[in-house]
């Protein structure tokens, strides 16, 4: 549609407007229509990415509404105070393109009266459904339309082309997925037994590596689990059942960092650097995928202020340090070594205990 569809300014109806008359607009009302249009353009500018229309474009649409749809003007003793335009019906639906009331006439029920007259005129045209557009930032208008029975059915989204290209480039540069499990124990023999017992239940793995304790943690790398985040999570839960505190940490698709912290077999904290990297999530789930400074301090000794500074989340990987850099920072934060290594690299670590299959 050539005419941008814009929001309804706040108007609190209070019965029938006193001293206001509503009539059909005609093409002779062009000066009045332009005056109201210019006021509205100044009060409610177009959102980013949408170029303002010209008066010639707007007037062409208004003339069509006058001829084929509904075009109404509201006036009081001082002159015009508002208007309402609705397009000619298509398949039983008309689109309300503009409703505007001048500030001096608001909170007198003018908008309600304009809409009531519009609805009556649309009924005569055989309309069954009425639609409109409203910018997301105009909360009073949205509340008004919802009170009148309108419901949201779609969203129009916009971004700069440069941003789109940047995000597409980041998404297309998919890298490796790998990770490790770190158990808070010095029982290397117990870790070896757990690996020999549990890993075969997960699937066919070429082998595992257990690295002697460093900073109170034994690191485990498994060929299968390293490349399968869900299996890595299950391995970490198994170690937590046996040893208390364990954490699975790694990089997914070369772009995001995830850790999952367990305490006595129960998952107590999960972090994903880009919560919606794998798809949209409810707002509560997005928040839940942020690091929990209190739990990390209690279970790993990490300083809460450092947790907040390092384990940040974002809407895109480009807003954070590279994943390999970020996972090292998080490892240092938690006192973990070797979080930037996969199974093959871990085979070369000094003192590494190899379990081949």
pLDDT, residue 319, reads 92
User: What rounded mean pLDDT belongs to the chain?
Assistant: 92
pLDDT band at 242 (very low <50, low <70, confident <90, very high): very high
CA distance 72 to 52: 23
pLDDT, residue 137, reads 84
CA distance 258 to 271: 5
**Residue 60 pLDDT > 90:** yes
Neighbours of 174 (CB within 10 A): 11
The owner of tokens 């001096």 is 104
CA distance 142 to 122: 22
E strand spans, the chain: 21-24, 70-76, 79-86, 93-101, 129-132, 178-183, 207-214, 217-222, 245-252, 256-263, 266-272, 353-356
| Cα four-point dihedral sign 43, 44, 48, 52 | negative
CA distance 330 to 339: 9
pLDDT tens for each residue of 294-346 = 999 999 999 999 999 999 999 999 899 999 999 999 999 999 999 999 999 99
**How many Å from the N-terminal Cα to the C-terminal Cα in the chain?**
66
Three-class HEC string of 129-185: EEEECCCCCCHHHHHHHHHCCCCCCCCCCCCCHHHHHHHHHHHHCCCCCEEEEEECC
pLDDT-above-90 percentage for the chain: 80
pLDDT, residue 304, reads 97
pLDDT, residue 171, reads 56
pLDDT tens for each residue of 99-130 = 999 999 998 899 999 999 999 999 999 999 99
Q: Where are the domains of the chain?
A: 21-147, 174-356
pLDDT, residue 172, reads 56
Taking the complete model, does pTM exceed 0.75, yes or no? Answer: no
Burial 3-41 (b: 16+ CB within 10 A, else e): bbbbbbbbbebeeebeebebeebeeebeeebeebbeebb
CA distance 26 to 40: 20
Nearest CA-CA partner of 332 in 264, 270, 259: 259
Q: Element (H or E) spanning 9, and its range?
A: none
What average pLDDT does this structure show over 171-192? 90
What average pLDDT does this structure show over 188-212? 95
CA distance 69 to 94: 8
**Residue 92 pLDDT > 60:** yes
3 state DSSP class of 104: helix
**Residue 197 pLDDT > 50:** yes
CA distance 107 to 147: 15
Q: Which of these ranges, 16-20, 243-247, 294-298, has the smallest mean pLDDT? A: 16-20
- 48-53 contact pairs (CB < 8 A, 24+): 48/158, 49/158, 49/159, 49/160, 50/4, 50/158, 53/2, 53/3, 53/4
CATH topology of domain 21-147: Aminopeptidase (3.40.630)
- Take residue 151 and report the two structure tokens written for it: 């419901």
């Amino acid at each position: 549609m050539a005419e941008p569809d814009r929001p309804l300014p706040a108007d609190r109806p209070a019965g029938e407007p006193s001293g206001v008359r509503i009539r059909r607009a005609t093409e002779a009302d062009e000066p009045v229509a332009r005056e109201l249009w210019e006021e509205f353009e100044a009060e409610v500018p177009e959102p980013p990415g949408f170029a303002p229309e010209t008066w010639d474009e707007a007037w062409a649409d208004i003339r069509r509404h006058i001829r084929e749809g509904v075009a109404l003007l509201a006036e009081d003793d001082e002159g015009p105070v508002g208007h309402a335009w609705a397009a000619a019906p298509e398949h039983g639906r008309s689109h309300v393109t503009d409703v505007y009331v001048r500030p001096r006439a608001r909170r007198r029920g003018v908008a309600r009266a304009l809409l009531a007259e519009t609805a009556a005129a649309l009924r005569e045209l055989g309309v069954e459904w009425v639609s409109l557009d409203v910018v997301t930032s105009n909360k009073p208008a949205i509340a008004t339309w919802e009170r009148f029975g309108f419901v949201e059915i779609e969203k129009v989204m916009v971004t700069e082309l440069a941003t789109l290209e940047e995000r597409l480039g980041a998404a297309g540069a998919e890298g490796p997925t790998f990770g490790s499990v770190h158990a808070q124990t010095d029982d290397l023999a117990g870790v070896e037994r757990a690996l020999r017992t549990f890993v075969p239940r997960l699937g066919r793995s070429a082998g595992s590596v257990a690295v002697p304790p460093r900073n109170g943690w034994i690191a485990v790398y498994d060929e299968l689990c390293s490349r399968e985040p869900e299996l890595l999570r299950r391995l970490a839960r198994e170690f937590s059942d046996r040893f208390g505190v364990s954490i699975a940490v790694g990089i997914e698709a070369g772009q995001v960092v995830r850790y999952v912290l367990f305490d006595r077999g129960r998952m107590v904290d999960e972090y994903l650097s880009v919560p919606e990297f794998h798809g949209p999530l409810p707002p509560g789930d997005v928040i839940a995928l942020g690091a929990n400074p209190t739990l990390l301090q209690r279970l790993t000794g990490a300083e809460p202020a450092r947790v907040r500074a390092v384990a940040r989340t974002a809407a895109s990987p480009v807003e954070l340090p590279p994943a390999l850099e970020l996972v090292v920072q998080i490892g240092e934060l938690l006192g973990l070594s070797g979080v930037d290594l996969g199974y093959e690299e871990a085979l070369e670590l000094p003192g590494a205990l190899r379990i081949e299959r």
